[in-house]
Amino acid sequence: MSPLLRLRRPGVRPARSPRAGAHTSPRSPRPSLSALPALLCGLGLALGLAGCKGEDAHGADEGPAPLPEPTAHQEARIQQLITAFTPLRADLTSDHHDRWLHEQRALLEQLKKGEPGLAAAALRVYDAGTQEDNGVRRALLTVASYTAPENLAPKLEGLILEYGPPIADRALAVELLAETTPRRAIAIYEPLMKKQKQRSTMPDDEFFVRAYIIACEKSGHDPVPALADVATNIFKQPASRYFAAQELGNHPGKRSWNALREILVESTGDAYLRRKAAQAIRKSTPTEQACELFEEVLQNEADENFAAFMLDLVEDSCP
């Protein structure tokens, strides 16, 4: 029964049955104003829509709870993090710098496993804009993202997609979103990877490809279709195509084979990309199939340097 038909105003008697032969239509009692929110929510649920406070069509909650107020201890730990990542004097000897790097990494890994209060404390300092050093800002954003991933996801998205923040922070946000909320990252990155050209105000394509691989590994999502698109897209930045072609070698299959073969056979003028494709084919393809393609390319190759590379590949890989 529809939620609308179940609503009854307290104290209202049920409508009488119409007389025989009457053509009156049955009416539902008019709900009071106080019942209007429940009425609208019931209508939304009846139509399969989410959005009622406290629940959706599946009874899910509203989302992550607000970040708690940081304790004094948590604020002290963030100050410790800032001190640890503040650059040393340039005139100190290498043993001081080695110890400094070791202590940095150990503290960062420890704090990444902390409570959400650390995220609140780190975010407060980050948003204040008082820290100009890239390393300190990276550390603050990393701790915040790992200790409260769902809370930080909207902020990371804003850093990625909106012009204004330092490009180093925006590039880090691409990686952090993939590491902490991988499915959300995939939903954002796939459309960007399919675009022919990236906007100049965005982090480089390579950051998205690398982060996309991380997100796919963490979520079990198939990366091959998007990687094949990037690897064969001549409008993409070269570094992103190199990495995509290389990564296809870790995912054997028809889609990977077709993309890598297209790169190797249809020369794009980028010899390094073709080398990456050849190496990925050797890694992911049965020897007989790979060698047949390598010998075909070698016989028709006009670039002497690339022909020498292919000859070495055939001699090393083919019986």
Between residues 29 and 231, the one the model is more confident about: 231
Whether the CA torsion 170, 213, 230, 281 is positive or negative: it is positive
Nearest 5°: CA angle at 193, between 187 and 196?
140
Q: Please report which confidence band the pLDDT of residue 302 belongs to, taking 50, 70 and 90 as the band edges.
A: confident
Low-confidence winner among 48-52, 127-131, 168-172, 233-237 (lowest mean pLDDT): 48-52
Q: Which two tokens stand for residue 117?
A: 């209060």
Average pLDDT over residues 49-78: 70
- How many CB atoms lie under 10 A from the CB of residue 184? 19
Q: What are the start-end ranges of the H helices in 162-303?
A: 167-180, 182-194, 205-219, 224-231, 238-248, 254-265, 271-284, 287-300
Average pLDDT over residues 150-168: 94
Q: Please report which confidence band the pLDDT of residue 35 belongs to, taking 50, 70 and 90 as the band edges.
A: very low
| CA distances (Å), origin 183, targets 119, 188, 210 | 21, 9, 15
Whether the CA torsion 114, 115, 117, 120 is positive or negative: it is positive
Using the structure block, give the residue that is written with the tokens 């007389």.
19
Nearest CA-CA partner of 70 in 62, 78, 60: 78
User: What is the pLDDT, as a whole number, of residue 194?
Assistant: 84
Residue 86 predicted with pLDDT over 60 = yes
User: What is the pLDDT, as a whole number, of residue 180?
Assistant: 98
Low-confidence winner among 13-22, 139-148, 183-192 (lowest mean pLDDT): 13-22
Mind listing the pLDDT tens digit for each residue in 238-255? 999 999 999 999 999 999
Mind listing the pLDDT tens digit for each residue in 71-81? 999 999 999 99
Mind listing the pLDDT tens digit for each residue in 259-284? 999 999 986 679 999 999 999 999 99
* Domain spans, the chain: 222-319
User: What is the pLDDT, as a whole number, of residue 267?
Assistant: 67
Q: How far apart are CA 243 and CA 209, in angstroms?
A: 7
Average pLDDT over residues 43-60: 40
SS3 79: helix
- For the domain spanning 222-319, the CATH number is 1.25.10.10
Q: How far apart are CA 298 and CA 217, in angstroms?
A: 35
How many CA atoms lie less than 13 Å away from 250 in the CB half-sphere? 10
Q: How far apart are CA 135 and CA 220, in angstroms?
A: 31
